[in-house]
Amino acid sequence: MAKTYFISDAHLGLGTKEEERAKERRLIGFLDHICLDAEQLFIVGDLFDAWFEYRTVIPKGFHRFFAKVSDLTDRGMTIHYLAGNHDYWMRDFFRDELGMKTHYEPFEVQIDGKKVYIHHGDGLAANDTGYRILKKVLRGRLNVWLYSWLHPDIGLTLAKSTSKRSRRHTGGKNYGESDTMQEFARQKMNEGYDVIVMGHRHKPVFQQIGQGIYINLGDWIEHNTFAEMDRGRIALKTWTP
């Protein structure tokens, strides 16, 4: 029980009911597999395509996945959940009910003697100033509190609709020739980090930069990719049920 795993960008709730049920089964199969040797799992953002958690109400669906996560934390696995740009608006459900460790900002962690920096990856594009401004607005405490007064049926429907429009906009946008995520990773390595793990781009990347490793985890919409860290060595792999 010494391995560490990383996944990101499942975007549960994105497709049809049948597509999402199949995706949920893949994720549960993956969790069943890693529970044999995993010490901890990091979910690096956008587990859901749209998530807004009210004080006494959570979005409907995916109870099988929730049950599996709860079972794993009860059995001693540490599961970290870093909020992404689609699922930032969580409260205490994942922490108090499912036993996960929740994070709202990028963070560092020591794993097998390696200094690892974990960032969802949103807001790093050089010419994405508009999103960085919008991010501050959407995450403002007052704005979140005001939104919470919408009836859940209205609030969650609006959140899902906004999520789809955002994805269409960013999917067709040209972010420039240089990969600013790799440049960000290089900067963090100059600060002393050994491994940089990100998501958001939905494009699996494994790149050695100097003595360090930059990994983009891809997604569970098309690629079903994950990272596995064992005794200080990290690899990017594809889950095949």
Query: Which domains, and CATH codes, for the chain?
Result: 3-238 (3.60.21.10)
**Strand ranges across the sheet with 225-230:** 101-103, 78-82, 38-43, 3-7, 225-230, 233-238
Task: Compute φ and ψ for 143, nearest 5 degrees.
Answer: -65, -40
User: Residue 164: helix, strand or coil by DSSP?
Assistant: helix
Q: What's the pTM?
A: 0.89
* pLDDT attached to residue 146: 79
Closest by CA to 82, choosing from 52, 120, 49, is 120
* pLDDT attached to residue 167: 59
Question: Which of the pair, 102 or 52, is modelled with greater confidence?
Answer: 102
pLDDT for 108-163, tens place per residue?
999 999 999 999 998 886 656 556 666 666 677 777 787 788 888 888 888 777 77
Give the pLDDT mean for 218-239: 96
CA angle 184, 187, 192 (to 5 degrees): 130
Query: 3-7, 105-109, 143-147, 165-169: lowest mean pLDDT where?
Result: 165-169
- 128 neighbors 199 (Cβ within 8 angstroms): no
Single-letter amino acid code for the residue at 111? I
- The answer, yes or no, to whether residue 175 has pLDDT greater than 60, is no
- The answer, yes or no, to whether residue 49 has pLDDT greater than 80, is yes
Give the pLDDT mean for 62-87: 95
Q: Rounded CA gap, 26 and 111, in Å? A: 26
Give the pLDDT mean for 195-202: 94
